[in-house]
Structure 1
Amino acid sequence: MLWIWLGITIIAAAIELITIDLVSIWFTIGGIGALIAYALGLSQTIQIVVFVILSIICIFASRPLAKKYLKTQTVSTNYDRVIGQHGLVLKRIDADTRGEVKVLSTQWSASSLDNSTLEVGDYCEILAVEGAHLVVKKINK
């Protein structure tokens, strides 16, 4: 069992070093616990129980913290800051044609939420960003 626990510990640690995303650190800690149980001369059953319980405890104790503080998959482009803002229609928007809206000093292609027509000079509220254009609705200002 020594080689099994040592192998699990080394492989889990290597995966953790490669990914740096807390995907296997718990199994490394569980493997270390099982190695300690082996060194104390405990049975294979106890070693497996120590590995499983220690790994599960580490997962439930650290995963929420890891998700909160290690957001490595999120790429922020700040496009969503326009949602909820008011814009000025620069080019007519109707059911068949996308128009243009100026919001936060930037021009965007835009379409109407309910296919209504917005004329040049109308004000609108930005409801969503879909691809490279805004979805807007007319507001009275």
Structure 2
Amino acid sequence: MLWIWIGLIVIFVIVEAATVQLVTVWFAVGGIAGLIAYAFGLEIWMQILIFAVVSAVALAVTRPFVKRFTKGRKQPTNADRYIGQEATVTEPISNELSKGAVRIGGLEWTARTVDNSEVDKGERVTVEAIEGAKLLVKRN
């Protein structure tokens, strides 16, 4: 059983290193606990129970902290400065027809409305968000 625990720990660490998503680190911690249980001579069912409980507790305790620190790390771009700014419609916007464009900051952008409304050429709109290479706008 010694080599099974060591093998599991190694596999979990390799998978974690390959994914960098904190997917299996909790199971590696549980594997270490199972290995310690083996070292104390506990029966196999007890080792597995300790592995499962320690893995679950490690996941439950650390996951909220990890999510808080990794969430919201959006890389701002130069285009983000357009959010909240006004733009002029240069091609009528129709989400249904998948067409429309606006001019802002001297550049022409593909545009769609956030509320699926249609906007005529020449109208002023406010940029609400950026989705890929499209501005999501709302009528002023």
User: Does the CA-based 8 Å contact 2:125-2:138 persist in structure 1?
Assistant: yes
CA distance in structure 2 between the partners assigned to 1:63 and 1:126 by the alignment: 35
The answer for the alignment partner of 2:119 in structure 1 is: 116
CA offsets per residue over residues 9-64 of structure 1, 9 Å max, x none? 11111212222221111111111111111111111111111100000001111112
The answer for the alignment partner of 2:25 in structure 1 is: 25
Letter in 2 for 1:91: T
User: Which runs of 5 or more residues in structure 2 are unaligned?
Assistant: none
Residues 1:63 and 1:3: Cα distance change in structure 2 (over 3 Å): same
The answer for the alignment partner of 2:39 in structure 1 is: 39
User: Which runs of 5 or more residues in structure 1 are unaligned?
Assistant: none
Identity %: 34
Aligned partner of residue 92 in structure 2, secondary structure = coil
> Given the alignment of the two structures, is residue 52 of structure 1 paired with residue 47 of structure 2, yes or no?
no
CA offsets per residue over residues 69-95 of structure 1, 9 Å max, x none? 2359x76353455343322x1635365
CA distance in structure 2 between the partners assigned to 1:94 and 1:68 by the alignment: 38
User: Does the CA-based 8 Å contact 1:100-1:107 persist in structure 2?
Assistant: yes
CA distance in structure 1 between the partners assigned to 2:18 and 2:132 by the alignment: 33
Aligned partner of residue 5 in structure 2, secondary structure = helix
Normalised to the residue count of structure 1, the TM-score between the two structures is 0.74
CA distance in structure 2 between the partners assigned to 1:92 and 1:11 by the alignment: 55
CA distance in structure 2 between the partners assigned to 1:109 and 1:69 by the alignment: 33
Aligned partner of residue 104 in structure 2, secondary structure = strand
Once the two structures are TM-superposed, the CA of residue 98 in structure 1 deviates from its matched residue by: 2.6
CA distance in structure 2 between the partners assigned to 1:117 and 1:90 by the alignment: 7
Aligned partner of residue 59 in structure 1, secondary structure = helix
